[in-house]
Chain A
């Protein structure tokens, strides 16, 4: 909020220089963010927090400055001269909705002549970012900036029956506000009306037809207190935000209403001539009652970590208007009418600590039980997966959790996408309207961006959450997504990425992350390429992931012009903890290795062949390794030649070559009778 620095200084007796004033205000909680020289003053942009509407004006901020700088806030002198008729003879006020309007004060100034504001006043308003209009409107704005009380000036001649009624708007009632907009209202809105119709939107904006104009002779000044919530909701439903609504919705000072009316009346008479009618009309259905609080400075000291004396507390509370009184060592205070933020004693602690100064509080580390910190929830798992992905050479990306309906649709056929999407009620843009159900869309978009940047060799991953509707309710899941494209390998052996590269990475990540045993099965869902797509099935056949070449139809959604391999793992299927490794004794007798070359139809999956060997081999077989796969020249079309290395070992003695030869021969026989295989 903008302030005129010299205006603040003028309100203080013993004001310090501007530099000191700015730094003291910052230190007590009003950060002077920007200082801009302007003539013989400076325009200050001060961060007044939303809980302090009382400081959203020069006098309120000067009150804080006085305490912070050891200066004195000058008393308020309206300089009012009244004469002639009583205001109450000229206008009547009725509050029909006292729950929405706690107080309504009216003053009348008769016989004004429209004039321009003097230079000094116009300049002050401009420093606050307010455009001068005419002396009467400017006077109300000036009082707003000085005292924080929003005011409204009506042309009294245009108030039918000279009767002000504060009431809820009727259903379908309309009002054309000062900005020329015709507003449709309902009973949740509060209006200021005369006998016939609504004149103003209470606490937000005046109406066009009671506006002050060149022919205005008599001015009715409204100075009221409106219910914060009513103003806030009203302004929000109408899409309005004004200087007045900003303050009323945060909480105005009900005791300021009569004072501000006096100050404004005096100022109007001074600037635009006319006489102030005697007395005010003051309807006060809910008089302000000050809350009483008791402060124990010992408890305050224990809370702050700094001993603070009764005298110091009293000095601060006095300056802030709490009228402190010390009794039996306790400080008794009354909360001033402008401090809507003070409800309980802890609120007083804050007042005192910030004026004593945060710098004054000594920093001392707490002494806490020496128990080791734990990483809880998903963190150990997701970081294990992240470490695994980094360890195999992938670069992490972080993409938005929301995507477009088209991207969601494109990813909807992926194996892990089974439940419906979660949509945002109020997205920022259509392209960010749906919560991702898969990490693929973000990775695919990243791939496109990288390709457009000329980065053609991609090895990316993202770890993050996906969102779906489960039984009608939004649910979250942790995923790891991988994308490979272009070439891979060291500089002298760079080769196009293949399914095998992808599978190798996925296997390594699965192993390091810790999953139950997963089986790889050809994917039939169709989002992946029909020849190079797999689902990873966990216990019970539940899918735990997929991996493969992205199908051309899906890839075209992101205009990916080179083959892209993708994989995604459902981390919620992973083991919560990786079991500690268990050491096995090293073998004491040498192994005997025997290779075996098998020729078989390409339709026989390697996993099935390996499983058959495992099942049919003698207990002396320690393990089976894949050595070579070959198809092509010299092999029947549709067949594959697979060379397996069979490792034999006896736990208690050395094996002879003859024994192994016999076992191999027997194994060949069993394989040939069980599977459609031949031996080369």
Chain B
């Protein structure tokens, strides 16, 4: 036995270690062969120390110690590597394509989505949003708005009556009347809300939603009406053209129906716009001085304009909802599409 033998063992150990790679079983075999307690080569080499002549003992001992350290550290390192490799191989991988665990998402009804969009447009222009009762009296719903009893225009607004002569408001306009009774001009308001008409078919629901607007001040002109409604409609329906047609409402004069270019065909003519290229979107007009007089507003000093639109219809147009009945069906798949 000699230093030469130590070197041989050292070489063969390193070769065996490399051959074992990160195979845990092969590494164990290497460990047993070299560092095994009973018959490992290192044991054998240690035993050989006693047989050596005294003069060689010192060098041999030192070299043997170094070899032991090497074997120990190399084995430990190999084991660590193997453990890491095997850990990497067995650790479960997340399937990142699985659906996430989402928190629940609520959704607002399209008619309220549209209401708030419109409110926001007008709030930005300095309008206030007003509120009023759904159960109204004849004065605010009709008479104050220049619709005396037996007026033929009442035919257009089939009314639900309640005991005691009150009624379900047929439009949001009674809130105009209430605001004019309460506040001095300048007035700048919009009034959204539920309204009721005794009418039910594919295009009419006995309950629906309107939004009404009113501006009263000195020097308000028909040109102001036009610009305000154009601004509003272009903000709501991007890129449309707006057209004003003379019409009739008992509470405004002159009155105007307002059309936008059809948002489905861009004005070329399609089924939605009855081939006309235009969609009727709101009614408007200069406040009839008779209304001012009934509500105690100085008709000599003030002029104003008013307008109203159907929120359900706007929601249907804006979001492409084909059937009015879907709006009030209670089907959660309607609102869920607007989450």
Q: Which of B150, B253, B257 contacts A233 (CB under 8 A)?
A: B150
Say how far B227's CB is from chain A's closest CB, in angstroms. Answer: 4
**Residue A240 lies at the interface, judged by CB distance under 8 Å to chain B:** no
Report whether A450 and B330 are in contact in the complex, using a CB–CB cutoff of 8 Å: yes
Q: A51-B248, A389-B106, A396-B107 are in contact. Are A453 and B152 (CB under 8 A)?
A: no
Bound CA–CA A443/B186 (angstroms) = 42
Of A288-296, A422-430, A644-652, the one contacting chain B is A422-430
Q: Tell me whether A359 is interfacial, beta carbon within 8 Å.
A: yes
Contact B220 A366 (CB under 8 A): yes
Complex CA gap A428/B248 in Å reads 28
Expressed in whole angstroms, the Cα–Cα distance for A401 and B160 within the complex equals: 12
**Cβ contacts under 8 Å, A455 to chain B:** 331-333
B245 and A29 contact, CB distance less than 8 A? yes
CA distance A398 to B254 in the complex (A): 35
B104 nearest in chain A by CB position: A393
Bound CA–CA A442/B194 (angstroms): 16
In the bound complex, residues from chain B placing their C-beta under 8 Å from that of A358 are 222, 226, 244-246, 256
A residues within 8 A CB of B101? 490-493
Give A632 to B295 CA distance when docked, in angstroms.
Answer: 71
In contact, B129 and A379 (Cβ under 8 angstroms): yes
The CA-CA distance from A379 to B131 in the complex, in Å, is: 7
A358 to B330, CA, bound (A): 42
> Complex: how many Å from CA A50 to CA B109?
36
Segment of A367-375, A513-521, A608-616 in the binding face: A367-375
> Who on chain A is nearest to B130 by CB?
A376
Asked if B333 and A359 make an inter-chain contact with CB atoms under 8 angstroms apart, the answer reads: no
Looking at A188-196, A348-356, A561-569, the stretch in contact with chain B turns out to be: A348-356
State A577–B106 Cα separation when bound (angstroms): 23
B107 in contact with A395 (CB, 8 Å): yes
**Cβ-based interface call for B31 (8 A):** no
Q: Given A305-B223, A394-B106, A425–B161 Cβ distance below 8 Å?
A: yes
What is the CA–CA distance of A350 and B245 in the complex, to the nearest angstrom? 12
Docked CA distance A130–B155 (Å): 23
Looking at chain A's contact residues, is the secondary structure mostly helix, strand, loop, or mixed? mixed
Q: Give complex CA distance A366, B304 in Å.
A: 11
Whether the Cβ atoms of A386 and B330 lie closer than 8 Å is no
- What is the CA–CA distance of A677 and B125 in the complex, to the nearest angstrom? 64
Shortest C-beta distance, B213 to chain A (Å), equals 12
A392: interface (CB < 8 Å): yes
Choose the segment among A91-99, A102-110, A320-328, A459-467 that binds chain B (4+ C-beta atoms closer than 8 Å). A459-467
Q: Name the one of B133, B248, B288, B329 contacting A476, with C-beta atoms under 8 angstroms.
A: B133
Q: Shortest distance in angstroms between A75's beta carbon and chain B's nearest beta carbon?
A: 27
Contact A399 B223 (CB under 8 A): no
Chain A interface: which of B41-49, B55-63, B80-88, B162-170? B162-170
Chain B residues whose C-beta falls within 8 Å of the C-beta of A368 in the assembled complex: 126, 186, 188, 215, 217
Q: Is the CB of A397 within 8 A of B131?
A: no
How many residues of chain B have a CB within 8 Å of chain A?
A: 89
Tell me if B161 and A424 are in contact (CB < 8 A): yes
**Can you list, as one digit per residue, whether each of B200-239 has a CB less than 8 Å from chain A (1) or not (0)?**
1000001100000001010111111011101100000000
Cβ of A28 within 8 Å of any chain B Cβ, yes or no, is yes
Question: Per-position contact with A for B325-339: 1 when CB-CB < 8 Å, else 0?
Answer: 001111111111001
Which of chain A's residues has its CB closest to B256's CB?
Answer: A358
Residue of B100, B108, B200 with highest tally of chain A CB at under 10 A: B108
Highest count of chain A CB atoms <10 Å: which of B227, B231, B246: B246
B residues near A353, Cβ cutoff 8 Å: 222, 254
Would B253 and A350 count as touching, CB distance under 8 A? yes
How many angstroms between the C-alpha atoms of A453 and B112 in the bound complex? 24
Chain A: minimal CB distance from B68 (Å): 50
**Residue contact A398 to B332, C-beta cutoff 8 Å:** no
B109 touches A303 (CB 8 A): no
Q: A395-B336, A474-B135 are in contact. Are A370 and B256 (CB under 8 A)?
A: no
Q: Are B254 and A349 within 8 A (Cβ)? A: yes
Assess A305 versus B221: contact at CB under 8 Å? Given A390-B106, A390-B108: yes
Does any Cβ of B come within 8 Å of A306's Cβ? yes
Output the nearest chain A residue to B126 by Cβ-Cβ distance. Answer: A373
Docked-complex contact B102 and A425, CB < 8 angstroms: no
Are B333 and A453 interface neighbours, CB within 8 A? yes
Of all chain A residues, which has the CB nearest B151? A50
Answer whether A474 and B162 are a contact pair too, CB < 8 Å, given A49-B247, A375-B128, A449-B331. yes
Task: Determine whether A377 belongs to the interface, using a CB cutoff of 8 Å to chain B.
Answer: yes
Is B261 located at the chain interface by the 8 A CB criterion?
A: no
Residue A657 interfacial (CB < 8 Å): no
Q: Is B153 an interface residue (CB 8 A)?
A: yes
User: In the docked arrangement, what's the CA distance between A306 and B224, Å?
Assistant: 11
How many angstroms from the CA of A349 to the CA of B333 in the assembled complex? Answer: 50
Provide a sorted-by-A list of 22 A–B residue pairs whose CB atoms are within 8 angstroms. A50-B156, A51-B250, A346-B288, A349-B253, A361-B226, A364-B221, A364-B227, A366-B227, A368-B186, A368-B217, A373-B122, A376-B129, A377-B131, A396-B109, A398-B109, A402-B206, A402-B207, A423-B163, A424-B160, A432-B206, A467-B134, A488-B104
Q: List 15 extra interface pairs beyond A365-B224, A372-B126, CB under 8 A.
A: A27-B245, A304-B223, A306-B223, A349-B253, A354-B246, A358-B222, A363-B226, A383-B116, A397-B109, A397-B335, A424-B168, A453-B333, A459-B332, A474-B164, A476-B133
The 8 A-B residue pairs whose C-beta atoms are closest, nearest first, are A377-B131, A446-B330, A305-B223, A393-B104, A29-B246, A305-B221, A49-B248, A390-B106
